[in-house]
Amino acid sequence: MIEIVQSDITRLTVDAIVNAANTTLLGGGGVDGAIHRAAGPELLAACREFCGCPTGEARVTPAFRLRARWVVHAVGPIWQDGRRGEPALLAHVYENALQLAWAQGARSIAFPCISTGAYRFPKRDAAHIALGVLSRYEDAFERIVVCCFGEEDVTIYRDALGVGA
């Protein structure tokens, strides 16, 4: 079952939380900055070892001071016009994050709304892409959470899932 919640992803108790990371993996604004602050400086040190991550891919680190066991750093696409592979890259990053978490032994995972903030991916399109991928993994994970920052995102994702408010 996929849950849509409005919460602070750093406070969720799940095996893995997904970070909407940039290609450097060295922190940034939004959820990326919040996760780095909550996890502590050890997270930055662990991320430095990767020397970055290409768009559409993901990397995993320990979660350090977070309630989760792992952080999956997922690099979503920056929206340009939708004709440069952005939808496929977004689907690919969700798929990669799920596979990495599963390989670590995670059975519960929480995702932010990847690429819909500073990367400007249209929220409704992103919701349908994300939920399409996540729904294929419902039987593999005990719990899949889409953690939304604002009420608008909750409404969009619940509408896309067909559950309403």
CA dist 46 to 40, 71, 132, Å?
A: 11, 11, 31
72 pairs with which residues across the strands? 18, 60
How far CA 23 is from CA of 75, 125, 130, 139, in Å, comes to 6, 22, 20, 30
Distances (CA, A) of 94 to 62, 76, 136, 148: 19, 9, 11, 15
Nearest to 107 by CA among 14, 9, 21: 14
* DSSP three-state, residue 91: helix
Catalytically active residues, by annotation? 32
